[in-house]
Amino acid sequence: MLFVRPARLSDLDALEQMARAARPVLHSLPHDRHALEARIALSEDSFRAEVDFPGEEFYLFVLEDATSGKMLGTSSIVAAAGYAEPFYVFRNDALIHASRELHVNRKIHALTMSHELTGKSRLAGFYLDPAVTGDASAHLLSRARMMYVAANRRRFTPEVFSLLLGVTDEAGTSPFWEAVGRKFFARDFAEVEKISGGRSRTFIAEVMPSYPLYVPLLPEAAQRVLGEPNAKSLLAYDIHLEEGFEPDRFVDIFDAGPVLTAQVDRSACVVSNETRIVRERTEAASDADPSSATAATTYLVANNRAGEFRCALAELPLAREEQAPLTSSVRAVLGAVAGDAVRCVPLHRASEDEAATAESQADLDGETAALRATHPGVRR
């Protein structure tokens, strides 16, 4: 049984290992043990603090296996990205170039350095142990953050965003960097990525383009990867779409990876939230009768009892009036007892759930593929 909870100082060893294992580096998780310790302390303070509006808080989560007590992953939220310095992204603008006389009309995309996301809450620092199998764990670790955001609106901005790794080849070379960043920096991507630490350093203003870049004028290879997630980030990309994030408005300034944005009001964790009351359910019942009369599906279930946030996956009946019958192991990881109100959000959207059979996963894949296909091509 996996669950997500806030990181503690006692997780330092495990987090240090994860920080070192993460490729590419996680800017939110420093390799230096003391710096990392300070980050965890900041996170502990942030979770405890009374917050009326987002500031310097940093929320660090870990994915724990309740059975073994092992840490299997981490994710985080930066309450206000670029709190002290501007946070840079490329805004993907569409410019209309039309001439009535010539009967031509074309949408031309241009990338403009933008500070627009400065101060917005940012999902960051996602790392999942490669040994963990199954997409559900990745969903849990990623979306637990939005479960926390949904339950703690004051702590975050109404719009949140997330930056995913862009496309690189086997050697770690980014075609977009080669076509753009290298011309300005005259350095390797990896080198600048290491020193830049999070898209909000002053040198970005000094070195990166001050005028918009016309997308059709960039080399084909660079255009092709615009807003495209790295193969390693495909699942994360799909998870964000499922949560209600939108691609295409912004891309990363270095590798053109997707920068997804979501209005918290319209995210799945808010829109599809069902607050249910915990009921006791025996393990035997679930094992014995998987296809019980009432159809069930996987939910993200979050509890905030006594200020300790917890999130896990559980099978819940589709019918809301059945409330939240949870087995003892789930109740244990959530720190929930019968009678508690918990936030329940279907892991996948209702439209897929109606299919409700083995094909549902296939439909889901089909839909996300379709979403990506319609994702208006930054490149056109």
Partner 1 sequence: MIVVRAVKTTDLDAVVALAQETGPGLTTFKPDPDALAARIARSKRTMEGQAAPHEAGYFFVMEDTATNDVAGVCGIETQVGLEQPFYNYRVSTVVHASQELGVWTRMSLLNISHDLTGYAEVCSLFLSPRYRAHGVGGLLSRSRFMFIAQFRDRFPERLCAELRGHFDADGTSPFWRAVGSHFYQIDFNAADYLSAHGRKSFLAELMPRYPVYADLLPEDARQVIGLTHRDTAPARKMLEAEGLRYQGHVDIFDAGPVLECHIDDLRTVRESVVVPVVIGEVDSVDPLASGAGPAQAPRERAPRSLVANTRLADFRVGFAPGGVEDGVMHLSADDAAALLVREGDPVRVLVTSHTQQSQKS
Contacts with partner 1, residue ranges (CB under 8 A)? 95, 97-99, 101-102, 104, 106, 108, 110, 179-180, 183-187, 192, 195, 201-203, 206-214, 216-219
Q: What is the largest CA-CA distance in the chain?
A: 75
What is the SS3 string spanning 111-146?
EEEECCCCCCEEEEEEEECCCCCCHHHHHHHHHHHH
Which of 369, 380, 320 shows the shortest CA–CA distance to 109?
A: 380
Tell me the residue type at 137.
S
| Least distance in angstroms from the C-beta of 174 to partner 1 | 15
Q: Are 161 and 120 in contact (CB under 8 A)?
A: yes
| Least distance in angstroms from the C-beta of 14 to partner 1 | 34
75/223 with CB nearer partner 1: 223
| Least distance in angstroms from the C-beta of 216 to partner 1 | 4
Which of 300, 309, 313, 308 shows the shortest CA–CA distance to 344?
A: 300
202/291 with CB nearer partner 1: 202
Helix intervals (H) in the chain: 12-21, 33-48, 135-151, 175-176, 182-185, 189-196, 202-207, 220-224, 234-243, 268-271, 283-288, 328-334, 350-355, 359-374
Which of 39, 121, 46, 43 shows the shortest CA–CA distance to 80?
A: 121
| Least distance in angstroms from the C-beta of 110 to partner 1 | 7
| Least distance in angstroms from the C-beta of 106 to partner 1 | 6
State both tokens at 290. 């998987």
Q: Are 248 and 376 in contact (CB under 8 A)?
A: yes
| Least distance in angstroms from the C-beta of 256 to partner 1 | 13
| Least distance in angstroms from the C-beta of 187 to partner 1 | 7
123/192 with CB nearer partner 1: 192
| Least distance in angstroms from the C-beta of 122 to partner 1 | 23
Q: Are 268 and 345 in contact (CB under 8 A)?
A: yes
User: Position of tokens 């092709």?
Assistant: 224
| Least distance in angstroms from the C-beta of 95 to partner 1 | 7
Measured CA to CA, the distance from residue 1 to residue 109 in angstroms comes to: 46
CB burial of residue 164 (10 Å; 0-12, 13-18, 19+): buried
194/232 with CB nearer partner 1: 194
Tell me the residue type at 95.
L
Helix (H, G, I), strand (E, B) or coil at 228: coil
